[in-house]
Each structure stands twice: as C-alpha cells, then as structure tokens.
Chains A and B, each alone.
Chain A
Amino acid sequence: MPADLTFPLRLSFQVAATATLLVAIVGVPLAYLLARREFRGKEIVDLLVTLPMVLPPVVVGYYLLMVIGRNGLLGAVSTRLFGHAPQLTFTWGAAVIASAIVALPLTVKTARSAIEAVDPRLANASHLLGRGELATAALVVLPLAWRGILAGLTLSFARALGEFGATIVVAGNIPGRTNTMPLELYNLITFGDWGKATAVVVVFTTLSAAVLFGASRLGRAVRP
C-alpha cells in the first residue's frame, strides 16, 4: 500500500466506524419501535428511513446541505440561538453524517425483521412475569435478535465505507482532510494513476466480500 493511501484508508475506517456507531444508537431503537409498536405516522417514519436506500446519494447530499450547510436549517437555528453557525460542511464530521444517513436503512430493515421474528408470546410472557418494555427488550427480545442486528450493522459499516455521492456534496474532496477511500479512488482514476487505483480497488473488493460473507453467516443463523 503506497504511503499516500494510508490517510484515506484510515479516514475511511474512522468515518465508517463512527457512522456505524451512530446508526446503532439511532437505528436499533428505531427498528424496535417499528417492529413492536403501533403508532401514528409509522408508515411515514418507515418511508423516510428507507428513502436514502433508493435515492441517488447525491440527492441525499443535497438535502443534507440544506440542513447542515452554511445557509442551511441548522445554521439558521444556531445563529438565532447562539449568534454563530458551526462549520460542519467540508469536515470529516459531515462525511460521518452523510454515511450514517445512507447506511441507516440497512440496519433498520435487517434489525426490524430480526426483532419481528422473535415470538411475541415471549414478550407477553415477560410482561406477565412483571417486566416492563425496557427489561423485556434488553433481556428477551434483543438477545434473541442480536445476530440479525449485528448483520444489519455489518452491512451498514460496509455501505458507510463505500459512501461517495452524499459525502462529496457535504464533505468535499479535500486532500488530507476529507478524501476518504472512494473519493481518493475517483481522484486516482481522474489523474490516470492506474497502479494505485488498482490497489485501492483490490482492497475495497476484498473488504466488501469479507463483510458480505460475515453478514450472510450471521443472517442465516437468524432463521433456524
């Protein structure tokens, strides 16, 4: 691996790992609610979470810019409240947000079906033994669905690692700051540096294949 590729590689892993953590914190409770609760607007929540999976990532990037951009919603609210707007765009934090949003549906979908596959009679039994919803989730439902949840998180990690379209819109492609592996690959191809490009492609393909293999093994174990 050429020395100037270590930064993009490290950055990519840093971004993907942080994004996956965010996805776990937001996505697993969301999947739990969607799987086990009826509430008003459930379909809309489901639609909104799923949308990034089918939208071109560039479109997601555009929406994100509307929210976290300098003149976006977040900036306006923050200026009004604190007198200044945080600089989020063109930082690695923006890359994390972009990757997390694009990777979220994979975890929500997979975790939701794993949670739905847990026999609801077990949750009823738990309630009748005096346990509330939180204890039931922590002690019965999630332990029985963990393989599916982990499979979803693995897929999300892989998706975050490869994020390109939304990232380039909100984080740019700044060498030494926001050039993740996919962006660096794009640069290498543009400059005709085929040797390094091939190295990146091989690394990516190997990693993705490994992740898919792991996820499918976990996924298979969900359905006995």
Chain B
Amino acid sequence: MSGISVDMRLEVPGFALDVDWRVGNELAVLFGYSGSGKSLTLRALAGLVRPGFGRIEIAGETLYDSSRRIHVKPKRRKVGYVAQDPALFPHLSVVRNVEYGLHEHPRRERRERALETLEALGIANLAERRPGTLSGGQRQRVALARALAREPRALLLDEPFSAVDNPVRQEMREVVRDVRERFGVPVVLVTHDMYEAYTMADRMVVYSGTGEIQVGTPCEIFSRPKSPEIEALITAERLWVTG
C-alpha cells in the first residue's frame, strides 16, 4: 500500500467532482481539460480543500475518511506540493526556504540536509540567494527541493512547468523523473499537455470531463480509450500538439 488512492465526492460553488482512482508508487499523470477538476483533486490530496464524502489514502495512511470523521490537516499530511507558482518565501534565502520544512529535525542537521537536497537538484550554488533573484526554472527547483527535503509521503505537482520556457520545461521534466527515482516517492503530476503526459507517465489518470475516469499506462490509454469522450480528448490533444 505505498501508492495513492482517492475515492471522493467534492463540491465547490458551481462544480461537483466525483472521482475514484488508485495508483502505485510511481509517476502518475493526472490528465484532462482545464476545469475538469484535476487541480481540485490535488488540493484535496494536500488537504487544502475538504471533500464532502469519501476516502483518501496516501502511502498506507488514511488522510481523509468521511465515515470515520478523519480529516488530517495540511500540516500533518507530510505531502510535498508544488504548483505553477512556487510560493517560495521571499524574505528567506534558498537554503532557509528548504530548512523551513525541517523543523522536526535536530537543529544541527537541518542545514546539512537542506544542502544535500539542493545538491541533489543541482542547485547547491544558489543556497544563499534570495528567491527574487532566481529564474523561473531555478525557483521551481527550489520549490521541489523544499518539498522533497521533508521526505514526503507523496509529491503533488500542479502544472509546475507551465510558467517556464520550453527548453527549461524539458529540463524540469527530467529533473522530476530523476528525483522520483532517487527519492522513491509516489508523484502525481497534473497537466493538460498531452506530450508531457505521454512522455512522463508511468500511469495516466484521464479525466474525461463528463465524470468518467480511465486509469492505465499511456500505451493502454492510447490503444484502448474507454469511451468516445476520452478518445476525443487524446485525439484532439494529439492533433493539437503535432499540428
């Protein structure tokens, strides 16, 4: 039980989301049109929104269960969350940003651990810089380092590369694949970019937009789309990417 399983119903004003899927300790890509509820799902996994009904489990821990009245607060979930906006603390240096999440570790270990994580992401040289002086790609790496240093149960990435330029985006995809292997942590990556989904996913979770969900390897999804809606979604995206 090292993966992620979600079975929930969540309502926000003007939108109801009803999802049920599970993935293993792998890189899962949550794919679908904008507005299909991908980001909302991720926010529910992080505990930033509370479903009305259902169950969320990450790495064997129940984080939400309506029948048992469990709703673990974000600060106790121990999940890494990186969104399009890296939300670095602008008044703290890069290394202090990473140390911020390490308060449960002994004081003298924090700096060392933070530097090790920065090293793993190839940005140890930025340790003393302020976030305001970094490029978009560098900021995203710092945000990843900050999330990973805590050894999270899962890493949740909400379109983290959509604000950076294409070459950097390609580089960031490699970074994510690399840290996923190195840290052995389940990753859920939200994207509406078909190419990104196809090239990165061990498993894809496709939100059709009509409430239907298909889970499978990219190969399975492409060769056997479960419904006309999902077929239309991947075909349209494919045409859009190549054309």
Contact = CB atoms under 8 A, between A and B. Distances in A.
Interface of A: 119, 121-122, 124-132, 135, 139-140, 143-144
B87 A129 contact: no
Nearest to A118: B90
Instruction: Identify whether the interface residues of A are mostly helix, strand, loop, or mixed.
Output: helix
B73 A129 contact: no
B100 A128 contact: no
B92 to A, nearest CB: 9
Give the one of A119, A128, A132 with max B CB within 10 A. Answer: A128
A120 B150 CA distance: 22
A72 to B, nearest CB: 44
5 contacts: A121-B85, A128-B48, A128-B81, A131-B103, A132-B75
Nearest to A123: B87
Given A121-B83, A121-B85, A126 B91 contact: no
Enumerate the 5 nearest inter-chain pairs by beta-carbon distance, A residue then B residue, closest first. Answer: A129-B101, A125-B87, A127-B74, A121-B87, A127-B75
Contacts of A125: 81, 87-89
B89 A127 contact: no
Interface string B79-115: 1110101011111000000001101100000000000
Contact of A139 (B47, B75, B100): B100
B87 A124 contact: yes
B89 A128 contact: no
B103 A130 contact: yes
Interface in B141-183: 146-147, 150
B192 interface: no
Nearest to A144: B91
B78 interface: yes
B77 interface: yes
A128 B87 CA distance: 11
B41 to A, nearest CB: 16
B103 A122 contact: no
A140 B96 CA distance: 12
Contacts of A127: 73-75
A125 B78 CA distance: 12
Contacts of B46: 128
A129 B146 contact: yes
Contacts of A126: 89, 100
B76 interface: yes
Given A125-B81, A127-B75, A131-B100, 8 more contacts: A121-B87, A122-B89, A125-B89, A128-B48, A128-B75, A128-B79, A128-B147, A144-B90
A47 to B, nearest CB: 27
A140 B103 CA distance: 14
A223 to B, nearest CB: 14
